[in-house]
Amino acid sequence: MSSLTTAPIAPLLDRLFAEAEASFAAIPPAFASMTEEERTRLLTSRTGYRDVYMGMKDAALAVSRETGTLLYMLARSIAARSIVEFGTSFGLSTLHLAAALRDNGGGRLITSEFEPSKVTRARANLVAGGVSDLVEIREGDALETLGRDLPETIDLLLLDGAKALYPDILDRVESRLRPGALIVADNADWSQDYLARVRSAERAYVSVPFAADVELSMRMG
Ligand SMILES: C[S@@+](CC[C@H](N)C(=O)[O-])C[C@H]1O[C@@H](n2cnc3c(N)ncnc32)[C@H](O)[C@@H]1O
């Protein structure tokens, strides 16, 4: 039996993914109608990210169902007990990772979100999924909230907040990543600095583009 495929999480995710699809309508028309170039410029900005995400506070912006399932599988297969997530939103990816922790026998997931209304929704979803005991939501800018009080060892890192900050978040978490730890970076194409780092010849990581929009990296020993 898997927590991901049984109640309460399975029907909850069915509902939340349906709502996430509908919530694309909550993306401001000005953003939705931008050219790809303009959107990329905004999403890769190191200064304007807060305004961008505040403007999309009613949109779930969730990982795809496939990426969610991949997160569960990866966390299970490495027997993860300690997970950090950058970008909680409504908690859909968080539910997948927390389900894996539950099925691994327990653990701790630290996740980060700066939009207060999203924190409230994520908290409610984690309670509905029966996994709130495994998750600590740190409210505020992850540049600060993930820069302190991290576990000694981290097994898996999900990067899914402001794309321009992926290298900065990695700076804060990197020393805690155990050999063999996995990093899943969603939409990493919008963070070329990050890709250059995990793919660099220094070989601190083994890294591959995986599925449609994920970069999967493994920390070397
Ligand atoms: C793509 S969504 C995350 C989706 C979520 N991982 C899921 O699959 O359900 C990105 C989220 O990161 C949050 N965010 C972006 N930059 C942040 C930052 N610097 N600190 C905290 N939260 C941030 C945004 O408010 C937004 O809710």
CATH (domain of 156): 3.40.50.150
Nearest alpha-carbon partner for 93 in 113, 118, 72, 77: 72
The alpha carbon of 155 and the centre of ligand 1 are apart by a number of angstroms equal to 20
Residue 163 near residue 46, CB atoms below 8 Å: no
Residue 197 lies in a domain: yes
Q: Which two tokens stand for residue 140?
A: 């505020």
Residue 84 lies in a domain: yes
Q: How many domains does the chain have?
A: 1
DSSP 8-state code for residue 212 = T
Which pLDDT value is given to residue 52? 87
Residue 194 lies in a domain: yes
CB of 90 closer than 6 angstroms to any ligand 1 atom: yes
The alpha carbon of 129 and the centre of ligand 1 are apart by a number of angstroms equal to 20
**CA-to-CA distance for 110 and 151, rounded, in angstroms?**
9
Residue 147 lies in a domain: yes
Q: Hey, whose CA ends up nearest to atom 7 of ligand 1?
A: 62
Q: Hey, whose CA ends up nearest to atom 8 of ligand 1?
A: 62
C-alpha torsion sign, points 150, 76, 98, 211: positive
CB of 83 closer than 6 angstroms to any ligand 1 atom: no
Residue 56 near residue 129, CB atoms below 8 Å: no
Give CA angle at 62 (100, 123), nearest 5°: 65
The alpha carbon of 1 and the centre of ligand 1 are apart by a number of angstroms equal to 30
**CA-to-CA distance for 104 and 123, rounded, in angstroms?**
22
CB of 114 closer than 6 angstroms to any ligand 1 atom: yes
Residue 41 lies in a domain: no
**CA-to-CA distance for 220 and 201, rounded, in angstroms?**
13
Residue 71 lies in a domain: yes
Cβ count near 106 (within 10 Å):
10
The alpha carbon of 200 and the centre of ligand 1 are apart by a number of angstroms equal to 26
Q: Which two tokens stand for residue 22?
A: 């509908």
Which pLDDT value is given to residue 39? 80
- H or E element, residue 85: strand 82-86
The alpha carbon of 146 and the centre of ligand 1 are apart by a number of angstroms equal to 13
**CA-to-CA distance for 211 and 54, rounded, in angstroms?**
28
Which residue range is the domain that position 157 belongs to?
9-15+59-219
Q: Which two tokens stand for residue 63?
A: 């990982």
Taking each helix axis from N to C end, the angle separating 92-103 and 65-77, rounded to the nearest 10 degrees, works out to: 30
Task: Find the Cα–Cα–Cα–Cα dihedral 128, 136, 117, 31, rounded to 10°.
Answer: -110
In this prediction, the residues of the chain whose per-residue pLDDT falls under 70 are none
Which pLDDT value is given to residue 58? 93
Residue recorded with tokens 């990493």: 188
**CA-to-CA distance for 185 and 216, rounded, in angstroms?**
7
Q: Which two tokens stand for residue 29?
A: 């028309």
The alpha carbon of 105 and the centre of ligand 1 are apart by a number of angstroms equal to 27
CB of 104 closer than 6 angstroms to any ligand 1 atom: no
pTM: 0.96
Residue 28 lies in a domain: no
Residue 140 lies in a domain: yes
Q: Hey, whose CA ends up nearest to atom 26 of ligand 1?
A: 89
Cβ count near 182 (within 10 Å):
22
CB of 135 closer than 6 angstroms to any ligand 1 atom: no
CB of 138 closer than 6 angstroms to any ligand 1 atom: no
